[in-house]
Amino acid sequence: MLEVADLRVRYGNLEVVHGVSFRAEPGEITAILGGNGAGKTTVLKALMGLVPTASGTITFGTQNLTRRPPHAIARSGLAMCPEGRQVFPRMSVYENLLMGAYLRSDAAGIQEDIEKMFERFPRLSERRLQPAGTLSGGEQEMLAIARALMARPALLLFDEPSWGLAPLIVEEVSQAIRDIKERGTTILLVEQNVQMALGLARYAYILETGEIAMQGSSEELIANSYIKNAYLGV
């Protein structure tokens, strides 16, 4: 469904993504794992059209998304749950959800979907009028997820959803991601939490300094001695 071929991204003269190729299969969770500065966020931003692609191609189903503007990419069915949540801090929970639907014009459908989000995430429902900036980290992550879902994406990109969360909350976020997959949305999950991501994904890519260093099914990677030593601390 998503196919990225030989993607290169530069900031000024400095290339930070050096010809990366990967796929995200429909209805599955695919992970991209890597440490700080590996280029994970840059890859996701390139997919969303938020940083320019120097070379390579991005294909989504039959659509060529390479160098398309962000609004066109969003319209073709991609949404992102960004690094550090990036909720609108002074807007209420309700208004944040409304922002997630900015490309939609079906007012009744939007209201219906907001109510569905409140059913799925009861903690958000109790706080619907609270400024999003005053939510806990876990609540903000749930809000960022619900906001992304308001766009009704076919492919949802997650940038380190476990970042800064306690283990119990990471488990809740994992469950939410699993649930989104089970409802039919394809997921590309960027994580440093290798344990969590390999627990969710069917297939994963290891990104090191802007290159895919290794790839395989989660079972293969969990059993791999390099992954055990470098990423799982076994």
Q: Of 227, 191, 226, 144, whose CA–CA distance to 32 is shortest?
A: 191
Give the C-alpha separation, 114 to 164, whole Å: 26
Instruction: Give the one residue of 2, 29, 30, 41 binding Mg ion; rule: CB under 5 A.
Output: 41
- Choose between 95 and 211: whose C-beta lies nearer to ligand ATP: 211
Assess 11 for contact with ligand ATP (CB under 6 A): yes
Assess 38 for contact with ligand ATP (CB under 6 A): yes
Task: Give min distance, CB of 120 to ligand ATP, in A.
Answer: 27
* Tokens encoding 121: 């995430």
Query: 206 - beta bridge partners?
Result: 33, 214
Instruction: Give the one residue of 22, 34, 82, 231 binding ligand ATP; rule: CB under 6 A.
Output: 34
Instruction: Give the one residue of 26, 37, 69, 89 binding ligand ATP; rule: CB under 6 A.
Output: 37
Assess 39 for contact with ligand ATP (CB under 6 A): yes
Task: Give min distance, CB of 40 to Mg ion, in A.
Answer: 5
Helices and strands per DSSP (H, E), number in the chain:
10, 10
Q: Which does 86 bind (CB under 5 to 8 A by kind): Mg ion, ligand ATP, none?
A: none
Task: Give min distance, CB of 181 to Mg ion, in A.
Answer: 22
- Choose between 193 and 218: whose C-beta lies nearer to ligand ATP: 193
Give the C-alpha separation, 205 to 190, whole Å: 10
Assess 162 for contact with ligand ATP (CB under 6 A): no
CA distances from 222 to 68, 202, 214, 218 (A): 36, 11, 12, 6
For residue 217, the Cα-to-chain-centroid distance in whole angstroms is: 19
Stretch that binds ligand ATP, among 19-27, 33-41, 126-134, 143-151 (CB under 6 A): 33-41
Q: What are phi and psi of 190, to 5 degrees?
A: -95, 130
Please, are residues 194 and 205 in contact by the beta-carbon 8 Å criterion?
A: no
Contacts to ligand ATP by CB under 6 A: 11, 16, 34, 36-42, 83, 192
